[in-house]
Amino acid sequence: MTGNTTIQRVIIDRVRPEIDNGRFPVKRTLGEKVKVRADIITDGHDAISGLLLFRHERSARWRAALLKGFPNDKWKASFKVTELGRYVYTLCAWLNRFKSWRRDLAKRLEAGQDVAVDLLIGAALVEEALARVPAPQQAWLAACAKELRSDRSPDIRTRLALDPKLLARMQGCLPDRTQMTFYPRTLAVVVDPVKARFSAWYEMFPRSCSTAPGVHGTFADCEARLPYISDMGFDVLYLPPIHPIGTTHRKGRNNSPICEPGDPGSPWAIGAAAGGHASVHPELGTLDDFRRFVRRAKSHGLDVAMDLAFQCSPDHPYVREHPEWFRRRPDGAIQYAENPPKKYEDIYPLHFECAERRALMDELMRVVLFWVEQGIRIFRVDNPHTKPFGFWEWLIGEVKRSHPEVIFLAEAFTRPKLMQRLAKLGFSQSYTYFAWRHTAWDIKNYFSELTQTDVAEFFRPNLWPNTPDILTEYLQNGGRPAFIARLILAATLGANYGIYGPAFELCEARPREAGSEEYLNSEKYEIRTWEVGASDSLKDLIARVNRIRRDNPALHGDRSLRFHPVDNEQLICYSKHTADFSNVVLTVVNLDPHHTHAGWLQLPLSELGLDRDQPFQVHDLLSEARYLWHSARNFIELNPQVMPAHIFRFRKKIRTEHDFDYFL
């Protein structure tokens, strides 16, 4: 070891949040805080100071927040993200000689020891810092140093030495960089719009919006449906592909390989003589019609989400103009999509390993930016796990560099690690296994992982009880109570959720055949006419649930989700709350759609911001009923034929100056 070698005595370890050693950014939405924690240690007994350094990537200037220490060498600080895009952050720490001196001085005074020499040491530390402080502060600190060296009484000088104002000024005196330890990695956080964290989605096939049976709907018909969707309280309207549909190997009704005259085919078989991914289906209208529809949706509080399905029908212009973008079979034919034993002969997958992959990727980027120019800011991406990871990281990164407000939802029902990798690569939201989690044990374990582990730093779940591809056995057999229970679970477990309608609100539950999750007479292959005004529709209940979501900030995020014990496994109980506990929502759901169930639930009152010695009121936001609870243990009974759930808001009991009680 040479004489010039610097020994770093401060160690920064276990920084959180940090994903895969900083390889991927964490996620936040506009206005949220990034709470950073770390273990910071040193040898011996010297005091430590440290800073959380952060900046928006467009800014060259670092900002700083002072790290606060806690027992067991844990430190934390936070910063608020106020701009869309990407922030970077890191940590630095150093031995704080003045803080060590001040701490030891206080101990010596308490022990009654002579501190005359110690005061001179403190004066020297202040004088040494003068060169590292702004000019306006130098005079004040110089006066303090002079006072510490003066012959005034020890009491006056020690009061100055221990003055918090002096400590605060000295805390702002950073040491020479050679004396500081910097965390070796710069970490990142991607900041999305609030809608990436809190949204309610409604999926609708535009071609089924006509009120005339069998007649292909148009964008004008979709406009007429907007008040209906808006009145239910949704804020994202997701449309399956709106592009021209191929005719070669077009699928018939119920996914039949035989297409009858008049069958419209699957919207996911994209491309025909009328155009490809940058065109609209002629029967829906024109591009101008679509732009008008997007504007009209916005006036109803709805953002239109577009389906991004990077695949082609055999009739797509790409097949003719860029045959090199597709894989060839040994017989020379283009390879169609397969998931053995299933065959999708109406779809050609793109070949991302072809020699011309750069041109292919640039074209797909052009498609996305084209629709951004048309007013689209939300994309639901079809089967992203069947395309290269590197492609998505590049495409999403490039799009969000110029349009940080764009949101990407990954429709990937695949293995957990693949779903998580896609989220790390940049997808703003992700589909989940919620549709198949039906027992209390499954729900608790799955959602505890999504909300209480590092997964929550990068994976934003979007919960769907049904989709055009998924009609679960639970919905098939549970009747109306099953639909209500799954609605309330999705809307309260997740800050982001969606339904495929009008199938959901009309409780469509007929499978194509026994054991299948495919709908009978699926909209994927034919035009359907829906009676959206039906008297038995769930639309009014859906509107109420969405209003409850909007009115209760506790439901606007997922990180506060906690499950609570119930002595009946058919009941599930969980809560969410705001940071200050001003809004606490407790949900209880009967998971059995056929039978009444009752049980005793146990609440951790102090963890929910409640006084264990005071009664509190629970207000059922579904029924408007109110109950006065006096303890942590309370009885619940739910008849699914009446209502399979409670959504309670806690109202605390307070006493006014006029000596009467009321609930807040």
Per DSSP, the residues of 399-443 read HHHH-TT-EEEEE--S-HHHHHHHHHHT-SEEE-SGGG--SHHHH
Which of 303, 411, 457, 505 is catalytic? The answer is: 411
Let me know: does 325 contact 352? Beta carbons within 8 Å.
Answer: no
What is the C-alpha separation between 205 and 502, in angstroms, rounded?
Answer: 9
In three-state secondary structure terms, 620 is strand
382, 505, 526, 592: the active-site residue: 382
**Residue 351 backbone zone (phi > 0: left; psi -120 to 50: alpha; other: beta):** beta
> Can you name the residues that pair with 343 across neighbouring β-strands?
338
CB-count burial class (<10 Å; 0-12, 13-18, 19+) for 598 = middle
- Cα dist from 592 to 332, 438, 441, 473, 538, whole Å: 54, 9, 14, 13, 19
Q: Which of 276, 278, 209 is nearest to 237 (CA)?
A: 209
Residue 117, class by beta-carbon neighbours within 10 Å (0-12 exposed, 13-18 middle, 19+ buried)? exposed
**Which three-class secondary structure state does DSSP give residue 203?**
strand
Residue 156 to residue 108: CA distance in whole angstroms? 16
Query: Residue 562 in contact with residue 661, Cβ under 8 Å?
Result: no
Q: Take residue 464 and report the two structure tokens written for it.
A: 């769907």
Residue 388 CA to residue 402 CA, distance in Å, equals 22
d(CA 561, CA 572): 13
Judge whether 382 counts as a catalytic residue.
Answer: yes
558: which 2 tokens? Answer: 């997922």
DSSP annotation string for 273-317: TTBSTTS--TTT--HHHHHHHHHHHHHTT-EEEEEE--EE-TTSH
Tell whether the torsion through CA atoms of 244, 250, 251 and 252 is positive or negative.
Answer: positive
Q: What whole-number distance in Å separates Cα of residue 301 and Cα of residue 290?
A: 17
Nearest alpha-carbon partner for 403 in 430, 375, 383: 375
537-574: buried (b, 16+ CB within 10 Å) or exposed (e) per residue? bbbebbbbbbebbeebbbbbbbebbbbbebebebbbbb
Q: What tokens does 616 get? A: 């509190």
Give CA–CA dist 302/294, Å, rounded: 9
Catalytic residue list contains 613: no
Q: Strand, helix or coil at 272?
A: strand
Nearest residue to 553 via CA among 198, 202, 195, 235: 198
Active centre residues (catalytic): 382, 411
